[in-house]
Amino acid sequence: MSSDDASPAGDDPAGAGYGFPRRWWRALAAHPPPGVRGLPRRWRSPLRGPWLTSTFGLVLLVTLPLVIVTGLLDHLAYGPRFSQAFPSDVGWLRPPAVDWPTRPSWLFRVTQGLHVTLGIMLVPVVLAKLWSVLPKLFDWPPARSVAQVLERLTLLLLVGGILFEIATGLLNMQYAYLFGFDFYTAHYFGAWVFTAALVAHVALKLPRLVTALRSRPARRELATPRAATRPEPPDPDGLVAPAPGAATVSRRGAIALVGGLSVLLGALTVGQSLDGAWRRTALLLPRGRQPGSDPNGFVVNRTALAAGIRPDDTGPAWRLTLRAGDRQLALDRAALLALPQHTARLPIACVEGWSTLQTWTGVRLRDLAALVGTDDVDATTVRSLEKAGLFRQATLAANQVLDPDSLLALRVNGADLAPDHGWPARVIVPALPGVHCTKWVAEIDFAGAAR
């Protein structure tokens, strides 16, 4: 199992008919790369073994599906139907063309919050599990059979996949686009690679996991102090160290450390998805804290200055243009304020992970549609004053325009919108990702989107 045991003249242990020709294996085994020979004896932790690996594995088996499913839902919420979920052409990985619902209004807030918070909390568990199997990375020879080559290939995709998802996810949350590729496309493709590898890995390893967990009752293991911590018996996968040292921490201590780190990360993250005092605990987040106490004192994702909005464009000269087919109408802010006003308490939930619940007042989008003479609303394009870039426009599906709480907001928490929150007018729609709640709206075209 290790280079020490693998004498060049040894047998092919996995060679039950699917092995490589014996002489290949022997040649490979006889020529380990520098530094690998004797390495297994230097991995000495007596904690490593099938039980510990399977315990971390079980946690991931239960929680990762939730991260995967919420991630996929977030992608659907983004509106891939309208080419808005940046992997605009993902071939056969394209998700079904469903309408993202507007109810419950906190739907995206929850799927997004769960995806990000849980994803962060699982980082210590993933690292602990990788630590527990780390010596396997230096196995020599690297594979003894075709089946094992395939298995190790899935591991490459599995480990590479999850590390890639963690790294890109964390960087995205910090708005740190250090990589030269599009985050959404890459994170989406990476998720599929990882998920496929995970399914293969679970199919291959589930029986081992069950056996390993049954081999040492958790209750007994969690009652074992450091002094009584012994290595597991040698296992066929070679996870147990061939020459284990004495325990410096018990298995329960190691699990408590990992669990504690996970809870700590979670506690430093959830605040970004909760309002009130919790907000202050969101230490890891670049825009997660409460910036002020006035009605407009909630998170600003991108300021008017950063978006290049000139005060002249949002002053008295500003007009909202409404379009439906060849009909067109222009309204100033006073005209909008003279229309029936509606108030709704709705979250802004940014795709980067933070969210906040605020009270918005403005004109219903469906009233604006009726004003320009259409009840038969189609996919609707909202354009901002920004002339270029990601936020230039957003497409809303008919159900998102017609919801009675979907607003062109003019006020928030009883005050006029601040410039940074989209003055003179912004869109707010229940359960819509923040990215599509266009600020500094210039035009709404109720039948202008290509489907």
List residues near Mo ion by CB under 5 A: 301, 350, 434-435
Residue 440 interacts with, from ligand MTE, Mo ion, none (CB under 5-8 Å by kind): ligand MTE
Least distance (Å) between residue 349 CB and Mo ion? 8
Are 418 and 350 in contact, with CB atoms under 8 Å apart?
A: no
Least distance (Å) between residue 386 CB and Mo ion? 14
Q: Which two tokens stand for residue 393?
A: 């426009």
Q: Specify the residue, 41 or 302, whose C-beta has the smaller distance to ligand MTE.
A: 302
Closest to 269 measured CA to CA, from 59, 434, 120: 120
Which runs of E-coded beta strand occur in 104-246? none
Cα dihedral: 178, 183, 186, 188 (round 10): 150
Closest CB to ligand MTE belongs to which residue? 434
Q: Specify the residue, 65 or 291, whose C-beta has the smaller distance to Mo ion.
A: 291
Residue 299 interacts with, from ligand MTE, Mo ion, none (CB under 5-8 Å by kind): ligand MTE
Q: Specify the residue, 119 or 434, whose C-beta has the smaller distance to Mo ion.
A: 434
Is the sign of the CA dihedral 115, 85, 370, 312 positive or negative? positive
Helix, strand, or coil (residue 182):
coil
What is the rounded end-to-end Cα distance, in angstroms, of the chain?
57
Residues that bind ligand MTE (CB under 6 A): 299-302, 307, 348, 350, 384, 386, 391, 421-422, 434-435, 437-440
Helix, strand, or coil (residue 85):
coil
Least distance (Å) between residue 135 CB and ligand MTE? 44
Q: Specify the residue, 113 or 434, whose C-beta has the smaller distance to Mo ion.
A: 434
Residue 139 interacts with, from ligand MTE, Mo ion, none (CB under 5-8 Å by kind): none
Q: Specify the residue, 60 or 431, whose C-beta has the smaller distance to ligand MTE.
A: 431
- DSSP character at residue 427: E
Q: Which two tokens stand for residue 433?
A: 């990702």
Least distance (Å) between residue 442 CB and ligand MTE? 9
Which runs of E-coded beta strand occur in 365-425? 380-384, 393-396, 407-412, 415-416
Q: Specify the residue, 68 or 300, whose C-beta has the smaller distance to ligand MTE.
A: 300
Least distance (Å) between residue 214 CB and ligand MTE? 47
- Give dist(CA 347, CA 224) in Å, integer: 47
Q: Specify the residue, 124 or 448, whose C-beta has the smaller distance to ligand MTE.
A: 448
Least distance (Å) between residue 350 CB and ligand MTE? 3
- Give dist(CA 86, CA 186) in Å, integer: 9
Are 377 and 323 in contact, with CB atoms under 8 Å apart?
A: no
Least distance (Å) between residue 206 CB and ligand MTE? 40
Largest alpha-carbon pair distance within the chain? 91
Residue 300 interacts with, from ligand MTE, Mo ion, none (CB under 5-8 Å by kind): ligand MTE
String of DSSP letters for 314-363? GSTT--EEEEETTEEEEE-HHHHHHSPPEEEEEEEE-TTS-EEEEEEEEE
Residue 108 interacts with, from ligand MTE, Mo ion, none (CB under 5-8 Å by kind): none
Residue 302 interacts with, from Mo ion, ligand MTE, none (CB under 5-8 Å by kind): ligand MTE
Least distance (Å) between residue 429 CB and ligand MTE? 11
Q: Specify the residue, 255 or 348, whose C-beta has the smaller distance to ligand MTE.
A: 348
